[in-house]
Amino acid sequence: MAAMASGSPALLVVQVLLLLLPLLFSVDGCAAAGTTTPTIRAQRGKPNTISRQPPAPAVRALVQSTCNATTYYDLCVAALVSDPSSSTADLRGLCAIAVSAAATNASATAANLTNATSSSSAATAGPITGSPQPGSDGRAQVQAVLLQACAAKYGEAREALLEARESVGEEAYDYAFVHVSAAAEYPAVCRTLFRRKRVAYPVELAKREEALEHLCTVAIDIITLLA
């Protein structure tokens, strides 16, 4: 220190700067290291920016409360919301929609069965009959006759449901109940015909029978709320 004091002022400044340089570099290094931390955190936070699908629109309260009173809630909601008018319909309107859904189902099955029996080849293989049944040509003819009878039964179910819809519009709920109940029984008659002839009941036809029965049950449950 005595040597530093005895030197010139310029030499003293140079010596002080030489002593401070290591400190300046160490501070810059720390600052540089500190600036990397926010970048790392930002990268770790990227997964939180993934967009999510918006939630499905809520089912109308009246549709929910109505379907809660039915045996098949999910089927009821699906049948009602498939008709745009359900967004503004009252309970009677929802009932008419449910009956119409059952009528549409019965009509589609009747048309499918009619197409399946329009030719001898379609009678033994098609969307309703499935794979050809083993046996003689006589058995195939019996199956064709049974499918024709089933087409007629589903046609009668459709007509009964159309009558039920008119009864709902007229607020004649007792008649509507009777018509829908009858419509639900027609597919069961079809199954009975197959059993009596000892012919295998097509799996696809069994599924259609169940679908119509469930739709009719939903319609009856809603009619009961109105009666």
Q: What is the pLDDT of residues 90-113, one digit of tens each?
A: 999 999 999 999 999 999 999 999
pLDDT at 141: 84
pTM given for the model? 0.68
Burial class (CB in 10 A: 0-12, 13-18, 19+), 109: buried
Residue 211's contacts (CB-CB under 8 Å, 6 or more residues apart) are 105
For residue 57, the one-letter residue type is: P
Find where tokens 């009864």 sit: 167
pLDDT at 142: 87
Residues linked to residue 130 through DSSP beta bridges, in sequence order? 126
Q: Is pLDDT at 134 greater than 70 in this prediction?
A: no
Question: Torsions phi, psi of 202, nearest 5?
Answer: -55, 135
How many residues does the structure list for the chain? 227
Read off the pLDDT of residues 22-64 as tens digits, 9 standing for 90 and up: 544 444 444 444 444 444 344 444 444 444 444 445 678 999 9
Q: How many whole angstroms separate alpha carbon 129 and alpha carbon 211?
A: 17
pLDDT at 205: 94
- DSSP three-state, residue 56: coil
For residue 193, the one-letter residue type is: L
